[in-house]
Structures are given as structure tokens and as C-alpha cells.
Amino acid sequence: MQTVSVNLGPRSYSIQIIAHETLGWLTFLKSALGHTRKLFFVSDTHTTTLMQKLRDLSLGAYECNHAIIPAGESSKSMAQFSFLLDELAEFGADRQTGVVAVGGGVIGDLAGFAAAAYNRGLPFIQVPTTLLAMVDSSVGGKVGINHPKGKNLIGAFHQPKAVWIDIGSLVTLPEREYLSGLAEVVKYGVIQDPQFFEFLEQNTAKILKRDAAILRQIVARCCRLKADVVEKDEREETGLRMILNYGHTFAHAFETVSGYGHWLHGEAVAAGMVYASRLAEKKDLIPASITERQIKLLSEFRLPVKAESGWKIPDLIEVMKRDKKAQAGRLRFILPVKLGEVRALDDVTEQQVAEVLAP
């Protein structure tokens, strides 16, 4: 077992990284949840088997119930949020009820938001099963749902009590989901750690083969890098945490305009990073070689590096103006100034965005 600590004072928690090991599950739960009496598990239709296994291991120590959500980005909705609140109420959930999210980022965000809202906050455990959720969405406390006008427009900050990462889950993860997660992995190299970016470049073959030792290194390093940012800016009050949104202003626009689920989140982030890097080139912040290195690595991971031709540029820009980083409709982007460092800039014009998006 490998542990990464997220140090947030009274909201501190640990990320446990294991491989094909469930013997420590009950000990992990009791350490994280204290006097909790009940557990409410949430999974989607792809992770039901694992959820039921963890639930069975918990019986005896806890009274357990569960809900199963349809798989896919469309489930990050008000309808499914309302469904979970109804199920929690039916279960008789109270402040001594823990919510356990077993699945990818959609389940973590949705179940976490339900945990944040019900009784003004229930203890919450993340069990991410996709690479993207392991390295990104399960860490940091952002939870929420989508709105037809934009991705993640409704949500809260609600830190988990602990995160349980079994990299053995990646063995059976569908190829497209696995590759999607690699986009967020690449992101950390660009925004914080150029040596990590080089490590990815040097190990693409092993990464694509899902080498267990390499994956353990990658997951642990990404969790540590994200924790470093979250510890300094938990609720996006200083601006530092915005660096984690590199590529996401473009990505969220792609996801919104195309319809949630057309592209996986990581696929949208991959293309979004390329456009953000092109924008940095246009503003003379970086040489073209930094963009080309990203394109090469993302392409080796078989991720998209450009938008689809049918998406209208004015529609994309309109969504970007509603992005959470925007201020009074003024566009703001996270742009690289060198490999391993990015900054937030709000002097980007709509014309510049249109130019980099143009075919």
C-alpha cells in the first residue's frame, strides 16, 4: 500500500494506492469514517460488481444500501442528483451515514454532490475506478453536476474522508476510457513537472501496455502534484488552483456544444490543451516546440488534438464566456509560459480564440 496525504487541517485525508487488494478495506473504512453506522454505496452500471464486493465486505460492520446510476456523462444531471437524495432519504440517512462512490469521475462528482447537500454534508469516500478519476477528479473535493448551459455549473467543495485507489481496476478498463485518463496525466507534466512530462515521453509503450509498476508511479505522482495545489488553494480563493484547469476552458466548450458524452472528458481536455498551447504561441509566451511535444505525446496516446469540423466557433466562444474562470463575460485562460509552468491570463480576445480554432 502506498499513501499520499492531502494536508488540509481538519479536512485532511489520505489517498491509499493498492493493487488487487481488498483485505484492508474494513480497516481503511473504520479509520476514515470513525463512528459512522451506515454506508450508502453509489455505482454506475459498469462498476456494479466491484461495488457489491465492497458492500459485502462492509456488511456486519455497517448497515448498507446502494444505488446504481446509468453510466455516462449524461448522468451528471439534476434528475440523477434528485434520485440520489430520494434514495438517501428512503434509507434514513443521517449525519452518521457515509456515502461511498465507486466508479469514474461522473459517479464521484454526482455522489459527492449528493453527500455535500444531504443534511448539509455527509462523510464521503471516493473509490475511483478509471484512470482519469484516480489522478484527478477523486482528489481535491470538487463535486457537482452539469447544466445544459455549461459543464459543472452546479456544485460544491466537499472533501472526501479518504480515497481508495486500486490500480487493478485499470486492467479491465475499456481502452477508450484508459486513453482518456492519460490526457489528465499529461496535463500535470505541462503545468507542474517537466521531468514527469519527459518520463511520460520515455515510457509511452509501457504506459499503453498498462504496466503495473509504471501505473503505480503515475497515479502516485499525479495525486501528489494535485494535492500540492489543493493544499495551497483548496477553494480557488488565491487563483493557484486554476492551473489545474489547463485546457479545460476549450474542453468544456467542446463537451457542451457536442452534447455531453460525445467526447469523453479526457478526449476534450487533450484537444483543449493543444488549443490553449496554440493560444500561448499566438501571445508569444512559448515557442511552437512546446506545443509540438504535447501534440506528439497526446497523439501517441491516441487522443484527439483538434476539434471536430462541425462545431461552430461562435457557439464554442459563447460557452467559454460562461466558464467559471470568466469574469463579467471576459475570457480567461490557463496558458503555458514554459513546460512545467502555466499562468491565468484574462487579456485574451475572442478574435484570438477564433483564430486558433479556425481549421
**Active centre residues (catalytic):** 120, 142, 184, 226, 236, 241, 245, 248, 252, 265
Nearest Cα neighbor of 343 from 267, 286, 265, 274 is 286
Phi, psi of 221 (to 5 degrees): -65, -45
* C-alpha grid cell, residue 167: 490500480
Q: Please tell me whether 158 is known to bind a ligand.
A: no
38-44 β-sheet, strand order: 2-6, 13-18, 162-166, 124-128, 97-103, 38-44, 63-69
Q: Please tell me whether 206 is known to bind a ligand.
A: no
Q: How far is Cα 220 from Cα 204, in angstroms, rounded to an integer?
A: 17
- Three-state DSSP class for residue 78: helix
Q: Please tell me whether 295 is known to bind a ligand.
A: no
Q: Please tell me whether 238 is known to bind a ligand.
A: no
* C-alpha grid cell, residue 316: 464554442
Q: Please tell me whether 109 is known to bind a ligand.
A: yes
Q: Please tell me whether 3 is known to bind a ligand.
A: no
Q: Please tell me whether 129 is known to bind a ligand.
A: yes
Q: Please tell me whether 46 is known to bind a ligand.
A: no
Nearest Cα neighbor of 51 from 22, 79, 9 is 22
Q: How far is Cα 121 from Cα 326, in angstroms, rounded to an integer?
A: 28
Q: Please tell me whether 265 is known to bind a ligand.
A: yes
Q: Please tell me whether 45 is known to bind a ligand.
A: no
Q: Please tell me whether 342 is known to bind a ligand.
A: no
Beta strands in the chain (DSSP E): 2-6, 13-18, 38-44, 63-69, 97-103, 124-128, 142-147, 150-157, 162-166, 333-338, 341-345
Q: Please tell me whether 130 is known to bind a ligand.
A: yes
Give the length of the chain. Answer: 359
> What residues are designated binding site?
105-109, 129-130, 142, 151, 184, 248, 265
Residues forming the annotated binding site for Zn(2+)?
A: 184, 248, 265
| Annotated binding residues for NAD(+) | 105-109, 129-130, 142, 151
